[in-house]
Amino acid sequence: MLRAHAGTIKLIIEGFRKYNRVKLGLDWLQILEECKNNVKKQIAPLLKTLNQFESDLGVGAGGDPIKQVDLAAEKAITETLLEKGLSFTFISEESGIKSYGAKPQQHYITADPIDGSTNLTRGIPFYATSIAVSKKPELRTVHTALVADLFHDVTYTAVKGEGAKRNNQEIKPSKQTDLAEAVIGVDLNTYKAREIVPHITNLIEQTKHIRHLGANALELCYVADGTIDAFIDIRGKLRATDTAAAWLIIKEAEATITTLEGKPLNAKLDPREKLTFVASANRRIHNIILNLLKA
Ligand SMILES: [Mg+2]
């Protein structure tokens, strides 16, 4: 009885939130879902032809196949937005900053059309599309976000003040505080590995489960829903465009994301802007990790 009652209340709250979003003029969550569906549709035929390139990777017969998928995904997003008659500034890894419509300052759309392109081309089933909406070209103004695992059809979303969801179910990070048992993602893909590695040696020595799955936006969502316990990128190489959507998902799930110094993360939304961060399931493990990285 009590459960049924809670279910009704939840439905009423959901309905009210949706009404509010629509009343504001645009249901961005719905629009981002449509963008994702169009990305899936547009890249599907390319995924089939990619298999033919597999033996010839990187040689570029018929153009760079990785680039083709990235560009098709980007086009799928902008076309969906244009079909809605929207004016917006599009900030993306692929084509920089572009204005669309009469009032491009109305909305800022920051996207990494395909996060994990190398995984996609090599057949590693871990890649995503990442889209964030903001009022200004600034990370902390992002109000709606979507990161979709395109292979497994799992979609993470967040609306500012409304929490984060995975396939429409509310998510929370893990309560893990035992570093030895924690699963921790670390991106070490950099030519400057010699500079980075000394900072993380202490951490690696105290953990048993270090991972890097190759699509950073999705790995941040894994922190948000408790699949992993932390994700660290201190290379100074990750673009703000790749992190914008996952940043809101982390915040709304009430996980923690800060700079190495423990400060709140903020950045200009610009593909040339690079971020360094530690994201963790909870404050306690976050502080343990920050201290080890500093040592
Ligand atoms: Mg990309």
Sorting pLDDT into bands at 50, 70 and 90, what band is 114?
A: very high
CA of 210 to the centre of ligand 1 (A): 23
Rounded CA separation 43/191 (Å): 31
Q: Which of 31-40, 109-118, 235-244 has the lowest mean pLDDT?
A: 235-244
* Its pTM surpasses 0.95: no
How would you list the strands of the sheet with 183-186, edge to edge? 209-211, 183-186, 230-239, 274-280, 256-258
Can you give the pLDDT at residue 196? 85
3-class SS letters over the chain: CHHHHHHHHHHHHHHHHHHHHHHCCCCHHHHHHHHHHHHHHHHHHHHHHHHHHHHHCCCCCCCCHHHHHHHHHHHHHHHHHHHCCCCEEEEECCCEEEEECCCHHHCEEEEEEEECHHHHHHCCCCCEEEEEEECCCEHHHEEEEEEEECCCCEEEEEECCCCEEECCEECCCCCCCCCCCCEEEECCCCCCHHHHHHHHHHHHHCCCEEECCCCHHHHHHHHHCCCCCEEEEEEEEEEHHHHHHHHHHHHHCCCEEECCCCCECCCECCCCCEEEEEEECCHHHHHHHHHHHHC
* Banded pLDDT at 127 (limits 50, 70, 90): very high
C-alpha 17 – ligand 1 centre gap (Å): 31
Mean pLDDT, residues 181-189: 92
**What are the structural domains of the chain?**
9-170 (3.30.540.10), 183-294 (3.40.190.80)
What separation in Å is there between the alpha carbon of 231 and the centre of ligand 1? 18
What is the 55 CA–ligand 1 centroid distance (Å)?
A: 22
- DSSP-derived pairing of the beta strands 183-186 and 230-239: parallel
Distance CA 117, CA 273 (A): 20
Q: Give 52's pLDDT tier (boundaries 50, 70, 90).
A: low
Rounded percentage of the chain residues whose pLDDT exceeds 70? 90
pLDDT of residue 174: 98
Residues 137-165, mean pLDDT to the nearest whole number: 97
Report the distance separating Cα 224 and Cα 246, nearest Å. Answer: 9
Distance of CA 77 from the midpoint of ligand 1 (Å): 13
pLDDT band at 4 (very low <50, low <70, confident <90, very high): low
Q: Give the contacts of 129 (CB within 8 A, at least 6 positions apart).
A: 35, 36, 39, 73, 77, 111, 112, 113, 114, 115, 146, 147, 148, 150
Span from the CA of 93 to the centroid of ligand 1 (angstroms): 6
| CA 229 to ligand 1 center in whole angstroms | 24
Averaged over 180-194, what is the pLDDT? 88
> What confidence tier does 3 reach under pLDDT thresholds 50, 70, 90?
low
pLDDT band with cut points at 50, 70 and 90 for residue 59 = very low
d(CA 165, ligand 1 centre) in Å: 23
* pLDDT for residue 60 is more than 70: no
All residues at 6 or more sequence positions from 56 whose CB lies less than 8 Å from its CB, including other chains: none
